[in-house]
Amino acid sequence: MGRNPIDLVGAEPGPARTVLFDGRPVPALPGQTIAAALWAAGVLAWRTTRDGGRPRGAFCGIGQCFDCLATVNGRPNRRTCLEPAEDGDTVTTQEGHGHAELAI
The predicted model scores a pTM of: 0.80
Q: What is the pLDDT of residue 104?
A: 47
Q: Where are the domains of the chain?
A: 15-91
* Cα gap 78→89, rounded to integer Å: 12
Tens-binned pLDDT, residue by residue, of the chain (104 aa): 567 776 767 767 788 899 999 999 999 999 899 999 999 999 999 998 888 888 888 888 888 888 899 999 999 999 999 999 999 999 999 987 665 555 54
At the top level of CATH, which class does the domain 15-91 belong to? alpha beta
Beta-bridge mates of residue 18: 27
pLDDT of residue 99: 59
Q: State how far the Cα of 43 lies from the Cα of 26, in Å rounded to an integer.
A: 10
- What are phi and psi for residue 101, nearest 5 degrees? -65, -15
30 CB-side CA count, 13 A: 5
